[in-house]
Every structure is written in structure tokens, then in C-alpha cells.
A and B are shown apart, each in its own frame.
Chain A
Amino acid sequence: SAQAPPVTLSSLCKPRQLYISFSDVGWENWIIAPQGYMANYCLGECPFPLTAELNSTNHAILQTMVHSLDPEGTPQPCCVPVRLSPISILYYDNSDNVVLRHYEDMVVDECGC
């Protein structure tokens, strides 16, 4: 562990901001609202020992231990979304009907290992 760089707070597993703009992907002609939304994503390290803030599973705790003993053989646990929330999109369909559609799991609220 002496060689590993010190883990800083900002490098720990947590949500990072990611704004999706529908006009950037050329969808502004058929999406009425929203024009975009904050989807976020997870990024960061899951170092040993895992602290409670890192929303880790028991398996992740085990894996960090093994990683600390055998860094080449076993990777760190992944940093993934553990709580997501839905969004609603209003759009026109091909028959010019107005459609309101709810999509689950579209916004990353919390990350974990």
C-alpha cells in the first residue's frame, strides 16, 4: 500500500454530474419537454477498508480485502448506481399525438460499491 497513491475524497465512488441535452442529440423536434435533464453517472474508487458512506455490499467488502492482498489478481469492486429515480418525457409520436411517458431508473441519485 505504500506505493498506492493516497485516496482522496474526490476520487471515492460517488455520483458525478452529467447533463443530457436532447437538442445536442438532435431530438428537439419531437421532444416537447424536458429539453434535457441531469442524468449523472458513477465514478470513483472503492478502496479497502470500505466505509459505510460507500453503500457497499458485503461482497464488495470481501473483494476490497482480497484486492488489498492481491492487487494484480483481483480488481477493486465497481462503483455503480445503487439508487435511481425516474423521469417523464413529453413528446410527439409519428401520428402527431402528444405522449407522456415515464421512464424508470433514468437519474443516478446514489452510487455504491
Chain B
Amino acid sequence: LSLQESLQESLLLKSLGLSTKPSPKTHAPVPSVLWRIFQRRKTLPALSKDLGDACRVEEFNVPGNIIRVFADQGHFIHHGQPPRLLCLQKRLYFNLSVLEEGERLTMAQLEIKFSHNSYPSPSPSQGQGLELRLYRSSRLPLRGTPAPERGQKLLVERSFVQLHKSLVFDLSGVAKDWRTHSRNLGLILEIAWSGGDGASALGSGGCTSISSFLDTSLLVVTLSQQQCGASRRRRR
């Protein structure tokens, strides 16, 4: 591009709310939730498009004009066998630093995906089942510490008898806090086998059903003050 063309391009990118021209290194698959929203908006008839609100995500009923899906950049805390009764222990980290300063975070949703619904289902009558705990890290672990510091803040604790293909948790509060008050030190995900002894945890059912764990991602909705604030003013 000539100097003038690159200047024009940077001005155009800026008007689109982009500080630089992205240069992705990999082309990750498009998350199905984004593709569905994109297709739905594309097929809206022109008139309802105008009536619709580009500054609101109807699918989640929150203000916003930018939706990102962040891949988890964390790691499993245990290589090999986690402690007794613990099927999975993983540090989750979503790098929200790409959000521009003028963006207001309005929603964050964590999704934990499994490749399929696993069976056989443990017997709830015997109080057996899977438990999921999600902690918010408030301190970086010392190198080599096998388990998260108990002082982490517990965000979610729930048991589920039957595994579902994906579990969704609203982390809007935590994500907003990461952006405004404290550092984003990630999360700790634990899935444990409850009820019964260690042997049953490792037997049929128990932890084996967790082998279908796929990945975690964080869907974040933000509202660009530059694009949604200005146009509103002009219309008024």
C-alpha cells in the first residue's frame, strides 16, 4: 500500500473501532454460537434490521455490539494422576487484555464442554455423583505447588449426576472485576467424585466419565462507547 493508502486504511480501521489491522497467526474455527448470531442478523429483512439494535445482543438480552469467544490458555494442574477423589483440576486463563479501553463489559459466560454425555450414571441413591467447583485465583501459585491455595475464592460448587454436553456459568461479575479492580489471575476448575471411596472414584463410572472433557471457553459481550455512544447522540 502506498503511504496515503495505508493512512486511509488506518483511518478506516479506526472508524471501525480497530486500532490496527489484525494479523491472525492461526485461523481457529468459528464458535457455533457466533456463527448462529451472525447468520441470524444477516438474514434479517432490511427494515427490521434498521429497527433492530446493533448495540444490543438480543440473544443474551444485554447491551453490546462486540461478542468475543476467548479460548482457554490455562493448563492442567496435575500431569498424570490427580489427588484422590479428584477427577480433574485445571487452571483456566482467558486473556481479556485485547478488550479496548472504550469497551464496557456487559456479560461474560464460561462454557465447559464435554465431547458427549458420559454413562453409566452413578447412583444418586448412594449419594454418588460428580461435583464441580470453580475457584477464582487471587494469587499466582508458587511454581510447583500441586494444588490451588485453599484461599482461592469459591465461585461455583454444584453436583451433577448426569454429565451434560456443556455446562454454562455466568461470570459477568468476576470478569467486570478483572477489568476494573483486580488483576486477572484466572480460575481453577475442579471436578471431583463425591460419595463412595477412592476406589469407586477410579472404577467404572466415577472419574472415567470425565474423560470426555473437551475444553472451556469464555464468551464476552462488550459495548463500544465510541460506536454505540456517538451514533446514539447523532440520532438524537
Bound CA span A31–B98, Å: 17
Instruction: Say whether A100 contacts B50, CB under 8 Å.
Output: no
Q: Which residues of B contact A89 (CB under 8 A)?
A: 16
Q: Quick one: which of B22, B23, B42, B49 contacts A34, CB cutoff 8 A?
A: B42
Interface mask (B167-181 → A, CB under 8 Å = 1, otherwise 0): 000000000000000
Q: Is A70 in the interface zone, CB < 8 Å from B?
A: no
The verdict on A58 contacting chain B, using a C-beta distance below 8 Å, is no
> CB distance A85 to B67 under 8 Å?
no
Interface centre among B22, B38, B55, by most A CB within 10 Å? B22
Neighbouring B residues of A75 by C-beta, 8 Å:
none
CB of A103 within 8 A of CB of B227, answer yes
CB interface residues, B 1-28, toward A, < 8 Å: 1, 9, 16-17, 20-28
- Among A83, A85, A101, contact of B65 (Cβ-Cβ < 8 Å): A101
User: Is the beta-carbon distance between A27 and B21 smaller than 8 angstroms?
Assistant: yes
> Chain B's nearest CB lies how many Å from the CB of A10?
22
Q: Which of B21, B70, B228 meets A97, CB within 8 Å?
A: B70
Across the A-B interface, give the 5 residue pairs with the lowest CB-CB distance, nearest first. A92-B24, A86-B54, A102-B54, A30-B22, A85-B49
Query: Quick one: which of A29, A92, A107 has the most chain B CB within 10 A?
Result: A92
> Please, which residues of chain A bring their CB within 8 A of the CB of B54?
86, 88, 102-104
Q: Does any Cβ of A come within 8 Å of B214's Cβ?
A: no
Which residue numbers of B lie inside 8 Å of A, CB to CB? Answer: 1, 9, 16-17, 20-28, 30-31, 34-35, 37-38, 41-42, 46, 49-50, 52, 54-55, 65-71, 95, 98, 227-228, 231
Residue in B35, B49, B68, B231 whose CB lies within 8 Å of A99: B68
Residue numbers in B under 8 Å from A91 (CB-CB): 22
Whether, in the assembled complex, A93 has its beta carbon less than 8 Å from a beta carbon of chain B, the answer is yes
Asked if A12 is at the interface (CB within 8 A of a chain B CB), the reply is no
A: residues with CB less than 8 A from B are: 25-27, 29-30, 32-34, 83-86, 88-105, 107, 109
A102/B55 in contact, CB under 8 A: yes
B23 contact from A33, A94, A101, A102, Cβ within 8 A: A94
A98 to B26 CA separation, bound complex (whole angstroms): 11
Collect the chain A residues with CB atoms within 8 Å of residue B98's CB: 93-95, 97
Shortest Cβ gap from B8 to chain A (Å): 9
- Whether A86 contacts B52 by the Cβ 8 Å rule is yes
Q: Do A97 and B231 touch across chains, with their CB atoms under 8 A apart?
A: no
A94 vs B231: C-alpha distance when bound (angstroms): 26
A96 and B28 within 8 A (CB) = yes
* CB closest chain-B residue, reference A95: B98
- Inter-chain CA distance A27–B231, complex, in Å, is 25
Smallest Cβ-Cβ distance to A90: which chain B residue: B38
Residues of B within 8 A of A25 (CB): 9
Do B16 and A96 touch (CB < 8 A)? no
C-alpha spacing A59/B70, complex, angstroms:
50
For A83, give its contact among B16, B37, B50, B66 (CB under 8 Å). B50
